[in-house]
């Protein structure tokens, strides 16, 4: 499985980044000539108009020399191999910290690995160290405190995403699946650790489960045992949740919904008959996030049914639509305003899909590419990866072959160096926009002043 490596690039004297640094310095110098918030000017020979003009012209000249790869006379390129070795040394130290006696050191090591695994692709580095990392994570899950267990579960999910869906990923998942499952269903464990295990179990099983389906069936069963605790009792009354329980039930239900997308048609039909009536009752839950998770799962199950049979219709759809309409127009004042707004938005989409089969499509952009979220199934898959990868999801969409394969993107794009170099960072765009806004404001103020004099 091909993986790309990226080293540090040289910082040339005439590069855009150097120009931006000079721009920042000149901006600070300009501020030093001014007073406080009252706007009193200091002793400066240059007017505000001149300063604004200098900033704009300065930045315009940098945009023409945007390439950070051009050869300069004053800079020396950083050796890519050296940079790679430094990164790997830091990662090795983090892995060593997972076996430290200090819980604080182990937790810091897990956090460092979480950030590294989510922000870059490290397949080659982890391939020969996967068993060592898995052993350390298993120890943390079995013997660590609640915070360490939650962090270890998240790191293991990232490890599975890094290793991909091959034999290496299956090997690690089979090793830790029983540990994740037992901790998730342990009523004595903390809700935070159990919630993290539920989320990790869903992603790891989706990525690494073997084709024969034994791991998939067991994972579905364990997840069901968790969120079914929120189902109504025989009298039809919803149980009163303990603090932290709705978050666990939501994570387990969302992971379960993710894995249902892998099930054959015959299994999906059984799950629909078993769970849809119970989930409809859970729409009356007191927790807004759990209600939303339930609504999205209902829409996903109905969508799966329609994919299997075009004429599929939930037998109690009329009652379901009435419940969805109530949530889509909920105005109860005892609920937080943001919760009501979020709930109404989601349930309007769910109701619209149940009634007319229309899905509100959205596009996720990354680099020069993008993916369309055009179904409840695709949204659940994307949200599951985003919850684990967080801000690193765009990097993995660009460079991780497994993630790209899941979303049908093909092999990672190899862009020409000149195309990469011509791109301006968000911060650099912010500096340019700020300078342009300042100059534009001054010009408009001049026009307004002249107009006022005429009037």
Interhelix angle 130-143/146-163, nearest 10 degrees: 160
pLDDT of residue 169: 85
| Encoded tokens for 394 | 């765009």
DSSP-assigned letter for residue 34:
B
Angle at 165 between CA 159 and CA 170, to 5 degrees: 75
Dist. CA 219–CA 214, nearest whole Å? 9
Beta-carbon contacts of 412 under 8 Å, excluding residues fewer than 6 positions away, are 4, 398, 399, 400, 401, 404
Percent of the chain with pLDDT over 70: 72
pLDDT of residue 126: 93
pTM score over 0.85: no
The values of phi and psi at residue 25, to 5°, are: -65, -40
CB 28 within 8 A of CB 51: no
pLDDT of residue 40: 37
What are the distances in angstroms from CA 389 to CA 121, 324, 383, 396, 400? 12, 31, 10, 8, 12
The yes or no reply on domain 81-262 and CATH 1.25.10.10 is yes
- Residue recorded with tokens 């269903």: 185
* pLDDT < 70 stretches in the chain: 1-79, 210-212, 331-336, 415-455
CB 217 within 8 A of CB 197: no
Write the DSSP assignment of 91-154 as a string of letters: HHHHHHHTT-S-HHHHHHHHHHHHHHHHHS--HHHHHTTHHHHHHHHHHHHHHS-HHHHHHHHH
């Amino acid at each position: 499985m091909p993986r790309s490596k990226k080293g540090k690039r040289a910082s040339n004297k005439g590069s855009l980044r150097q120009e931006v640094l000079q721009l920042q310095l000149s901006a600070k110098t300009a501020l030093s000539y001014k007073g406080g918030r009252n706007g009193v000017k200091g002793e400066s020979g240059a007017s505000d108009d001149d300063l604004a003009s200098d900033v704009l012209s300065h930045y315009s000249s940098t945009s023409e020399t945007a390439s950070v790869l051009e050869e300069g006379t004053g800079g020396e390129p950083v050796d890519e191999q050296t940079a790679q070795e430094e990164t790997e040394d830091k990662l090795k130290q983090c892995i060593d910290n997972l076996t430290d006696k200090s819980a604080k050191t182990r937790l810091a090591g897990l956090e460092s690995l979480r950030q590294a695994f989510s922000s870059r692709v490290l397949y080659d580095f982890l391939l020969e160290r996967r068993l060592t990392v898995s052993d350390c994570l298993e120890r943390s899950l079995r013997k660590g405190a609640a915070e360490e267990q939650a962090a270890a579960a998240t790191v293991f999910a990232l490890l599975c995403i890094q290793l991909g869906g091959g034999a290496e990923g299956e090997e690690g998942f089979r090793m830790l699946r029983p540990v994740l499952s037992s901790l998730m269903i342990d009523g004595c464990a903390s809700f935070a650790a159990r919630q993290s295990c539920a989320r990790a179990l869903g992603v790891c099983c989706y990525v690494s489960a073997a084709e024969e389906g034994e791991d998939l069936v067991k994972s579905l069963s364990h997840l069901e045992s968790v969120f079914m605790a929120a189902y109504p009792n025989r009298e039809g009354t919803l149980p009163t949740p303990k603090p932290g329980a709705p978050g666990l039930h939501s994570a387990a239900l969302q992971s379960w919904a993710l894995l249902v997308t892998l099930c054959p048609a015959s299994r999906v039909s059984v799950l629909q008959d078993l769970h849809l009536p119970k989930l409809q009752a859970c729409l009356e839950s007191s927790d807004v996030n759990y209600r939303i998770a339930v609504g999205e799962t209902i829409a996903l199950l109905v969508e799966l049914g329609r994919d299997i049979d075009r004429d599929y219709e939930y037998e109690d759809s009329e009652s379901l639509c009435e419940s969805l309409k109530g949530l889509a127009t909920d105005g109860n004042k005892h609920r937080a305003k943001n919760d009501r707004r979020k709930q109404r938005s989601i349930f309007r989409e769910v109701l619209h899909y149940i009634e007319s089969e229309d899905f509100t499509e959205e596009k996720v952009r990354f680099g020069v590419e993008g993916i369309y979220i055009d179904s409840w199934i695709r949204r659940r898959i994307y949200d599951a990866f985003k919850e684990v990868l967080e801000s690193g999801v765009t990097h993995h969409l660009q460079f991780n072959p497994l993630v790209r394969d899941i979303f049908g993107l093909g092999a990672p794009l190899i862009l020409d160096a000149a195309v990469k170099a011509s791109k301006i960072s968000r911060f650099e765009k912010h500096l340019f926009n700020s300078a342009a806004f300042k100059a534009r404001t001054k010009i408009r103020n001049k026009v307004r002043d002249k107009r006022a004099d005429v009037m």
